[in-house]
Structure 1
């Protein structure tokens, strides 16, 4: 039991392994508490990728990467990112033995302070009701979400002849479209997504265009100029999903997340592809409605 409040201080990139170990422990406990199978331990390769991703995130946003320390023990983290007029809370986690003791509130207050002058804010919430309550009390609107998952049969998806593999040359217009959709470009995040085993899928139809990042069996981010083009991008992204190379025989189902009521175009494509819908934690926004058509990444938004 925690008898004193921890010390908050900025995280450094060298502390990425400790951040990763804490995150893995928190999510494992989260699954067990909800009666889900315990997730397997990460392999050395997965840990190396995880730590590289966290090291990059902390280095890119040092002023909004905060750790809570009880002596030498890291017991909580908050990672946020500011991109022009847009602010997002990427991660808020507290060690299971230190929850419901005020640590999460302290970390959230520190994170919110880093984005208090940003006109637009977004948080992709878990199913933890305590976290959801904190975000609402902080002034965020709660938008109920569905996730779609299952096995995709590519034969059920209409062909998208305008689809192609994206390259770094597409980043400039993706930044600009991101500004129109959510109020801010992506800074270094597009390069980070590209390095994290994501591949970029692009659809162009004259002045209508869109993109999606796909990592193994997950569509991790999607944006487009209009819902019809967004639907084409999602079909192409679903067709591009593939088994997890770390677990090719036991890969998880294809997953599409953050389906709010505004994204009916995406819900229809997921149903067309034979995916199942289920409720998940809300998308939380401040100063903005959920962008359309848009499916935010849970970390890079």
Structure 2
């Protein structure tokens, strides 16, 4: 049967197809037997994933591709380009379609969208096959750590003299300025999406520097700051706002983010290793905690 690689459309059907393939691929990566099926899907996270696919289909149609066979989705690659930085936001192939060239074709189409970009970023799962493709594409893979668990409320000490407050759309220039300093490019339209779909934006803006952090439930989605001190203050504040009955999650921490590891361990979180941060033409941004979907 012929495999068709086509651009992702801004439709509910295409967004659902990407979500379905993603859940199947990550279930396989987590080692869950097919008979068990995927874990129950959080509705809030599902809505956000569907919206992200449609958002990128609008902002970066030439960077978003889906593979089909007889009308059934086999895989997808979503990428975006922001001010000279190419980001691979998602790369998934159904377990049954792996090893047949589907992933190679998808990645080639998405990577072509990044031609001319001097820098590249991606967050990678522990998949050995994906790691081989990323290395072949010229990415340096930095092993990453993850902090998880319940925040120890008794360790939430006086935050000190760096004030943190909730942010909104009026802070977009500040956010883009921090992004350009750390990763060489603003997030641009992605901030509008994150403001709409993440629970809160936290901002620190002082004479000593600036920074911001997105939090959604127990997950710290992104941290960027001009100094480790401000980054640590933002992360501590975000973890303090995680509901007491919810596990915290801070992922994709490279060795450059020891300030984040220290905050997490001080608040009683557990540290493990999982996945990679891939960079091309740049060092890992620091102090910075990336968001896997937008970096």
Same fold (TM over 0.5): yes
User: Aligned in 2, Cα 1:20/1:222: closer, same or farther, shift over 3 Å?
Assistant: same
Q: Deviations over 1:52-92 (max 9, x none)?
A: 23212221211101011112111110000101111110000
Deviations 1:215-263 (A, max 9, x none): 10010100001111111111111112237xxxxx7x5x21111111111
Report what 2:176 is aligned to.
Answer: 175
What is the alpha-carbon distance in structure 1 between the residues aligned to residue 174 and residue 277 of structure 2? 25
Tell me the secondary structure at the aligned position of residue 88 of structure 1.
strand
* Contact 1:32-1:38 at 8 Å conserved across structures: no
Listed as ranges, the matches of 1:231-250 within 5 Å are 231-242=232-243
1:291 aligns with 2:292: no
Q: How does 1:103-114 map to 2 (within 5 A)?
A: 103-114=102-113
8 Å Cα contact 1:10-1:67 kept in structure 2? yes
Q: Structure 1 residues 291 and 43, CA, compared in 2 at 3 Å: closer, same or farther?
A: closer
Aligned residue for 2:66? 67
Provide, for residues 167-186 of structure 1, a one-character-per-residue CA deviation record: whole Å limited to 9, x for no partner: 11111111011011111111
- Conservation of the 8 A alpha-carbon contact between 2:168 and 2:195: no
- Structure 1 residue 40: deviation in Å? 2.8
Does structure 1 residue 272 correspond to structure 2 residue 273?
Answer: no
Question: Counterpart in 2 of 1:206?
Answer: 207
Which stretch shows the higher mean deviation, 59-68 or 150-159?
A: 150-159
Tell me the equivalent position of 1:195.
196
- Structure 1 CA distance, aligned partners of 2:30 and 2:143? 21
Aligned partners of 2:198 and 2:214 also within 8 Å: no
- CA distance 1:288–1:43, change in 2 (3 Å): closer
Q: Which residue of 2 is the match for residue 132 of structure 1? A: 131
Provide the residue aligned with 2:254 in structure 1. Answer: 260
1:8 has 2:9 as partner: no
* Corresponding residue number in structure 2 for 1:246: none
2:33 is equivalent to residue 55 of structure 1: no
* Cα distance in 1, alignment partners of residues 127 and 286 from structure 2: 26
**Aligned mates of 1:223, 1:38 — CA distance in 2:** 36
Kindly indicate whether the alpha-carbon contact (under 8 Å) linking 1:81 and 1:89 is maintained by their aligned counterparts in 2: yes
What is the aligned-residue RMSD (CA, Å)? 2.0
Q: Check the 8 A contact 1:143/1:283 in 2, yes or no.
A: yes
- Kept in 2, the 8 Å contact 1:5–1:102? The answer is no
8 A contact 1:31–1:38 mirrored in 2: no
Aligned CA distance change for structure 1 residues 156 and 142 (closer, same or farther; 3 Å): same
Gaps of 5+ in 1: 244-248
Structure 1 runs (4+) deviating above 6 angstroms are none
CA 1:267–1:43 in 2, change beyond 3 Å: closer, same or farther?
Answer: closer
Once the two structures are superposed, what CA deviation does each residue of 1:243-296 show, in whole Å capped at 9, x if it has no partner?
Answer: 7xxxxx7x5x21111111111111111111111111111101000000110111
Structure-2 change in CA distance of 1:44 and 1:299 (3 Å): closer
Q: Is the 8 A contact 2:202 2:213 kept in 1?
A: yes
Does the residue aligned with 1:66 lie in a helix, a strand or coil? strand
